[in-house]
């Protein structure tokens, strides 16, 4: 059966995190890859169950720190040697030990800013609208006491009837088709 136009996916609601993790593991083993878990608090086992293992925020933070250090050293070198050279007490124009503290400060600044903005960008934030807000039970349950597994319609293995039957095997409280 073809995917109905405007369908985001199927959303299964569970009572406990254990049920969610078991359903997510089964879905991953069955070949579903475009899925996500939504919980009121972090459940590390759910992230492992859907195959989420990699986090690139630390790499973005490292690159931001290196960029900040190089930018400050470059700016100080340009100012001291070419832009505004001053002969102070006979010291050389390029006196790198004097550049270490400001370069360290810029390293910390750029690393922190790149980590914050990189995390927001990688999470797709700010997102003012998400299709799951259309699900009748998601808005109240996701932030209080319910656990959700959403299999997206963009998954190559997704079929509205077969995916619904697959989710029903794990005894969710409900399975809802989510529209865009």
CB of 27 within 8 A of CB of 155?
no
Residue 115 exposed, middle or buried by CB count within 10 Å (0-12, 13-18, 19+): middle
Tens-digit pLDDT profile for residues 18-27 = 999 999 999 9
Tens-digit pLDDT profile for residues 130-170 = 899 888 888 878 888 899 999 999 999 999 999 999 999 99
Mean pLDDT for the stretch of residues 109-133: 92
Residue 65 exposed, middle or buried by CB count within 10 Å (0-12, 13-18, 19+): buried
Q: What is the pTM of this model?
A: 0.74
**Residue 4 — very low, low, confident or very high, per pLDDT cuts 50/70/90?**
low
Q: How far apart are CA 175 and CA 161, in angstroms?
A: 11
- The 3-class SS string of the chain reads CCCCCCEEEEEEEECCHHHHHHHHHHHHHHCCCCEEEECCCCCHHHHHHCCCCCCCHHHHHHHHHHHHHHHHHHHHHHHHHHHCCCCCCCCCCCCHHHHHHHHHHHHHHHHHHHHHHHHHHHCCCCCCCCHHHHCCCHHHHCCCCCEEEEEECCCCCCCHHHHHHHHHCCCCCEEEEEEC
């Amino acid at each position: 059966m073809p995917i109905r136009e405007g369908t985001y996916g199927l959303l299964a609601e569970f009572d406990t995190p254990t049920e969610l993790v078991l359903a997510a593991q089964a879905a991953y083993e069955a070949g579903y890859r475009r899925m996500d878990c939504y919980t009121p608090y972090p459940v590390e086992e759910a992230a492992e169950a859907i195959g989420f293992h990699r986090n690139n925020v630390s790499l973005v933070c490292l690159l931001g720190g290196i960029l900040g250090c190089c930018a400050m050293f470059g700016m100080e070198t340009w100012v001291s040697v070419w832009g505004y050279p001053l002969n102070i007490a006979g010291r050389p124009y390029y006196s790198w030990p004097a550049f270490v503290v400001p370069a360290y400060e810029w390293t910390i600044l750029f690393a922190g800013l790149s980590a914050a903005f990189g995390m927001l960008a990688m999470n797709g934030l700010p997102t003012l609208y998400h299709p799951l807000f259309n699900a009748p039970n998601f808005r109240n349950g996701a932030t209080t006491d319910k656990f959700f597994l959403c299999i997206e319609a963009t998954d190559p293995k997704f079929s509205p009837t077969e995916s619904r039957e697959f989710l029903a095997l794990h005894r969710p409280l409900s399975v809802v088709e989510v529209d865009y």
